[in-house]
């Protein structure tokens, strides 16, 4: 790893699972690249790898939830974070609910932000999705800071 990459890795991010439903199938994709983009309108940005399983379905779904995870939710983050995407639609052991507009969310998390996709910017191997905030749920607990060692390949 070069010096520039070492410096970039000092940027701290949370751990999130982006959940959504399309054609009756629930999806979950773990990511660490989420941030606020605007106050008015209230917009959150999410960066997703274009080769991730579920990426095309996410773009098509138009609505998604950002599930903010705590350290106690590491197993959930790993479940939806497999690079091969093997668990992207596996909600068999995952407690989930539905927001009023139909977006699926994880019951075990520290917060949920329900968004409507309003813009997408293509940036090389990732796309940045901008979601206008529709609703949210605040829960007890602190958000989890991403650490590469928590996600062995």
pTM of the model: 0.90
Which pLDDT value is given to residue 41? 96
Low-confidence ranges of the chain (pLDDT < 70): 83-84, 146-153
Which pLDDT value is given to residue 44? 98
CATH number, domain 15-147, options 3.40.630.10, 2.30.110.10, 3.30.70.260, 3.40.50.300 = 2.30.110.10
Query: What are the DSSP E strand ranges found in the chain?
Result: 16-22, 25-31, 34-38, 43-49, 63-68, 96-98, 104-106, 111-123, 126-138
């Amino acid at each position: 790893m070069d010096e520039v990459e070492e410096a970039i890795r000092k940027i701290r991010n949370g751990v999130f699972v982006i959940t959504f439903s399309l054609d009756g199938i629930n999806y979950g994709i773990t990511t660490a690249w989420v941030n606020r983009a605007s106050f008015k309108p209230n917009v959150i940005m999410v960066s997703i790898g274009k080769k991730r399983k579920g990426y095309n379905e996410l773009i098509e779904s138009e609505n998604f939830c950002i599930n903010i995870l705590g350290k106690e939710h590491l197993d959930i983050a790993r479940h939806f974070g497999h690079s091969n995407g093997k668990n992207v639609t596996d909600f068999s052991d995952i407690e989930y609910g539905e927001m009023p507009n139909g977006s699926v969310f994880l019951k075990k998390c520290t917060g949920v932000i329900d968004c409507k996709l309003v813009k997408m910017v293509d940036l090389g191997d990732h796309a940045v999705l901008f979601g206008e905030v529709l609703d949210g749920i605040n829960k007890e607990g602190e958000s989890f800071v991403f650490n590469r060692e928590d996600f062995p390949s």
